[in-house]
Structure 1
Amino acid sequence: MTRPPAAVLLVACLAVVTTVAGLAFAWSTRPGSPAATGSEPPRDELRCGAEACRPVVEQRVGPDSVALLVGSGVGRIRASGASGPNVFELTIAASGAEITERSLQCVDAEVGVCLVRGEVGSEVRGEVLVRRSGAWSRAQVPYVSSGGHLGLHDVNRDAVADVVAVQRECPAGVDCAERFAQVFSLVDGGDELGCTAVVEAPELLPGWPAVVPDAADLGPCGG
C-alpha cells in the first residue's frame, strides 16, 4: 500500500488541531462563562488570617449593610453602602471575644450606630461603628462591661444611640450581685454621660436584660 505523502499528513494533523481549538473556544465563550463575561472566576474577597473569612451575622442599617466575619482568631467588620465597601479590623476578636449571631446590634437613624460585642471570660467587650453623612467610621473608645450587658439605647434622646455598659459594684476578681449601668455618648468623642444608682441585683436595673435607663436615672459615676 502506498503511504500518503508527508505534506498530506501534516495538513490532516493541522485540521484536527484547528477543530479541537475551535471547540475549546466555543466552550469558553458560552453564555455565563468567565471568558464570555470578561470576569475572572470567583475568588475569596476577604481573608481572616490564614483562611477565608466566614460570615457570622449581618444586619441592614437603612440602605447599608454591616456584617461580621471571622476566621483563625481574626475578624473583620464589613460595612457596605453608598460610600462603597469599608472593612475594619474586628479588634475584640483578636482579644479572644466569642463572636456569635448575637454579637451585632445596630440602630438606624440619621447617625447610624452599630455595636459589636463578645464575651471574654466574665467580661463583655465591644467596639462601635458610626455612620455620618453616609460614611462609616470607627469610634475610638473600646467598651467593657463586667456586669453582663453591653448594648445601645438613646438615653439622652439626642437621636444618637448611646452605649450602656452594666458594671459590677465589687472589687476586682470578686463576684457579687450589685450592679449599675454606665452610659457613654457617641457624640463629641464618647464622653461618659453618667451612671445609675447601684442596685442589689441586675434584675432591678431598668429593662433588664436589655438595660434602658432614662437620662433622669443618671448621676455622677463613682458617687
Structure 2
Amino acid sequence: MVFAWSLRPDDTAERGVSPTQDELRCGPTACQAVVSADVGRDTVAVLVGQAAGVGGGQGQGAGRISTNGASGRNIFELTIAEQGAAITDGSLECVDAEVAVCLVRGPARSEVLGEVLVRRSGAWSRAQVPYVAGGGYLGLHDVDADGVADVVAVQRACAPGVDCARRFAQVFSLVGPSTDLGCTAVVPDASQLPGWPAVQPGRSQLHPCGE
C-alpha cells in the first residue's frame, strides 16, 4: 500500500545552497516552475523541464523542489517525477505551522505518488518515505491534532490483481515514535470516506491497518 524506494543522495540539498532558478537543469533542459506556495516567510516551488509540457499532465521525468526565503535556499530532487508522476499546478499542498509540511504529488499509471518536505527549526528536509496511494487520493490533514499535518493516502481494498470500488484511508505521521497512525474502515466507494473529496478522517475513526 505504501513503500519506500531508494533515494539518490541530493548533494545540493545537503549543502543547503542552490543556484538560481535560471541556472537549474531538469534533465536536458532548463527548469521551469509549475506551481509554488508561500509557507510562512518561505516560498516552495515545484520545477520541471521546459520541454516536458508544463501542466499538461504528462510524466516529465526530471524535476526539482526549491525552497527560498527565511530558511535559506535549497534544492531537492523531485523523485516522483523520475518515477513517472505527472506534475501539474495541482501537485503541491503545504500546511504552515511550527513544523511545516509540503506534499508534492502526481498521478502515475493507476496510483498517486507523493513525497514530503518538512520544515523544523527553520530548516527544510525531505521525509525519507515516499508515499503511494492506490485509491486515487493523497493529501494532508492533521488527523491526530498534534499541530503537524499527517499524510492521508486512499487505498484500494481489492484482491491482488483485481480493481474494485472499495476504498479505505491510511494515515501516516511525520513526527513521533510511530509513523503509521492506522486505517479507516473499508467503504463501498471513495465518496463515502470521511470528508470526501478532501479525505479528512478523525483519530477516532482509525484502527490498526489489516484488522
When normalised by structure 2's length, the TM-score is: 0.83
Distance in 2, matches of 1:65 and 1:142, equals 22
Matched, 1:60 2:48: no
Structure 2 residue aligned with 1:79: 67
Q: Is the 8 A contact 1:124 1:144 kept in 2?
A: yes
Q: CA deviation at 1:173?
A: 2.7
Q: CA deviation at 1:202?
A: 0.6
Structure 2 residue aligned with 1:176: 164
Deviations 1:138-192 (Å, cap 9, x if unpaired)? Answer: 0001100000100000000000000000000002331101100000000036610
Distance in 1, matches of 2:21 and 2:138, equals 36
Distance in 2, matches of 1:113 and 1:83, equals 14
Written as runs of structure 1 = structure 2, the 5 A alignment for 1:160-171 is 160-171=148-159
Higher RCO, Cα 8 Å, sep 6+: 2
Structure with bigger helix share is 1
Q: Is the 8 A contact 1:141 1:190 kept in 2?
A: no
Consecutive unaligned residues in structure 1, runs of 5 or more: 1-41
Deviations 1:103-142 (Å, cap 9, x if unpaired)? Answer: 0000011110000000001100000000011110000011
Q: CA deviation at 1:44?
A: 2.5
Distance in 2, matches of 1:191 and 1:218, equals 14
Distance in 2, matches of 1:105 and 1:196, equals 22
Distance in 1, matches of 2:78 and 2:123, equals 18
Distance in 1, matches of 2:142 and 2:185, equals 18
SS at match of 1:101: coil
Q: CA deviation at 1:83?
A: 2.8
Distance in 1, matches of 2:124 and 2:169, equals 27
Distance in 2, matches of 1:152 and 1:190, equals 17
When normalised by structure 1's length, the TM-score is: 0.79
Matched, 1:154 2:132: no
Q: Identify the match of residue 29 of structure 2 among 51, 54, 63.
A: 51
The structure 1 segments of at least 4 consecutive aligned residues displaced by more than 4 Å after TM superposition are none
Identity %: 69
Q: CA deviation at 1:82?
A: 1.7
Structure 2 residue aligned with 1:128: 116
Greater gyration radius: 1
Written as runs of structure 1 = structure 2, the 5 A alignment for 1:6-155 is 44-71=22-49, 73-155=61-143
Shift in CA distance, 81/172, structure 1 to aligned 2, threshold 3 Å = farther
Residue identity in the other structure for 2:111: E
SS at match of 2:23: coil
Structure 1 residue aligned with 2:15: none
Distance in 1, matches of 2:21 and 2:94, equals 29
RMSD: 1.4
Greater displacement, 160-169 / 189-198: 189-198
Distance in 1, matches of 2:195 and 2:174, equals 21
Distance in 2, matches of 1:166 and 1:43, equals 34
